């Protein structure tokens, strides 16, 4: 008779109690509302700016509207130049001052709430998001860039950002003022409008290729090419609010990582520090359990899950309110101090706006080239 030695059965990991969310997530509805409000605001600004330009192009005939200062939100390089000028001299520059105030507002948003500007407000980010969602519908899926290509491509936007920051940082306050006060600096906004109004075949092809790539790859422009997003991403590293996972509440379902448009390992990390996180909260919306994932400040040290996160979570309503406070607060501050609008005499606009395409970059063809073609 043989004696059988019984081996202890391998222990199964204890199943975690699943605490389902008590309230439905509204983050994506609130974020989409913020996105469309900003799209509508930019469309309004665009139309008003177009009408303003046309009035000067018609020699003062037709419907005269005021120049919308908000158009300067589309001049991030002017904003950066003006910010450097302001820091160097203590004076708000007279040309495109709103560009600086808006840049400061967007930077403050990144300091506190990751790259929320990109996912909640930026119209280009909104367009990118809808393009990849549309592409997923058309092609059935989006493509995932292989890692060996993804990493060097992600470096492109930092090269672009570094180039602009280096050039601007190396310019003296006098040189910055000289640039912004040149005809080129004054009508940089009109030149931007003209680029899209009279787009060349090459420009149209480039935009078409970018649109196609944006349909194939999630946030192609934002992920690989946008220098503005690169700057916001670097600033967002200091943000106290982050996506944070509670390993005790998390049931390791992996839903959060699957929906993340930045392909971050949300289901493995306890906090997302990455410069790629745009605080879109898609991961939070996908999480099925209470307190599994949240956009929050550092949790309390407490044994209970609920207690850990009490008073630490920034819900979607709070994020939207925070962005509105920074944006409207900065516009109000600029208006209240008389620095929102650029005040150039009408005669200067009358001379420059219709001839914006002939105004060349200062320094490109010598010091007198800036007035070439302007009579
Ligand atoms: S980690 Fe979450 S909030 Fe950040 S980008 Fe991914 S899905 Fe959006
Ligand atoms: S969605 Fe992510 S955080 Fe939430 S339970 Fe699943 S793995 Fe955990």
**pLDDT (tens digit per residue) in 215-228:** 999 999 999 999 99
Residue bearing tokens 């989409």? 32
277 — pLDDT class (breaks 50, 70, 90): very high
Write down the mean pLDDT value for the chain: 92
pLDDT at 13: 54
User: With contact defined as beta carbons under 8 Å apart, do 67 and 43 qualify?
Assistant: no
User: With contact defined as beta carbons under 8 Å apart, do 283 and 293 qualify?
Assistant: yes
What is the Cα–Cα distance from 167 to 373, expressed in whole angstroms? 27
The token pair at 372 is 């070439």
Mean pLDDT of 170-174: 96
Mean pLDDT of 271-284: 97
Find, among 211, 181, 291, 207, the residue nearest to 246 by Cα. Answer: 291
Return the ligand 2 atom nearest residue 257 CA.
2
CB of 287 within 6 A of ligand 2: the answer is: yes
pLDDT at 7: 56
Return the ligand 2 atom nearest residue 255 CA.
1
Return the ligand 1 atom nearest residue 260 CA.
7
pLDDT at 210: 97
Question: Which phi and psi (to 5°) does residue 244 adopt?
Answer: -130, 135
Residue 217 is classified by DSSP as B
CB of 214 within 6 A of ligand 1: the answer is: no
- For 292-349, the pLDDT digits (tens) are 999 999 999 988 999 999 999 999 999 999 999 999 999 999 999 999 999 899 999 9
pLDDT at 34: 98
């Amino acid at each position: 008779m043989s004696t059988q030695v019984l081996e202890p059965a391998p222990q199964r990991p204890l199943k975690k109690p699943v605490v389902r969310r008590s309230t439905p997530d509204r983050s994506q509805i609130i974020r989409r509302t913020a996105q469309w409000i900003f799209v509508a605001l930019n469309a309004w600004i665009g139309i008003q700016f177009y009408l303003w330009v046309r009035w000067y192009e018609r020699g003062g005939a037709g419907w005269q509207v005021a120049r919308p200062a908000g158009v300067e939100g589309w001049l991030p390089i002017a904003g950066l130049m003006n910010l450097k000028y302001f820091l160097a001299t203590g004076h708000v520059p007279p040309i495109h001052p709103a560009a600086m105030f808006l840049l400061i507002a967007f930077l403050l948003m990144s300091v506190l709430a990751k790259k929320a500007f990109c996912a909640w407000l930026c119209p280009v980010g909104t367009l990118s998001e809808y393009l990849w969602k549309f592409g997923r519908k058309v092609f059935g899926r989006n493509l995932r860039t292989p890692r060996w290509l993804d990493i060097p491509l992600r470096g492109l936007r930092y090269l672009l950002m570094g180039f602009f920051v280096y050039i601007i940082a190396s310019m003296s306050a006098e040189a910055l003022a000289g640039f912004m006060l040149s005809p080129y600096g004054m009508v940089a906004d009109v030149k931007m409008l003209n680029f899209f109004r009279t787009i060349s075949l090459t420009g149209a092809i480039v935009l078409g290729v970018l649109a196609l790539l944006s349909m194939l790859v999630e946030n192609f422009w934002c992920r690989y090419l946008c220098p503005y997003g690169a700057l916001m991403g670097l600033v967002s590293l200091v943000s106290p609010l982050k996506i944070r996972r509670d390993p005790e509440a998390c049931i390791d379902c992996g839903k959060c990582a699957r929906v993340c448009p930045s392909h971050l390992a949300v289901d493995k990390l306890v906090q997302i520090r990455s410069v790629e996180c745009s605080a879109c909260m898609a991961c939070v919306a996908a999480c099925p359990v209470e307190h599994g994932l949240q956009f929050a400040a550092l949790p309390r040290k407490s044994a209970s899950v609920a207690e850990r996160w009490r008073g630490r979570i920034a819900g979607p309503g709070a994020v939207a309110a925070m962005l509105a406070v920074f944006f409207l607060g900065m516009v109000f501050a600029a208006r209240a101090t008389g620095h929102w609008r650029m005040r150039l005499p009408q005669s200067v606009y009358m001379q420059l706006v219709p001839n914006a395409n002939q105004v060349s970059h200062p320094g490109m063809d010598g010091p007198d080239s800036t007035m070439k073609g302007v009579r």
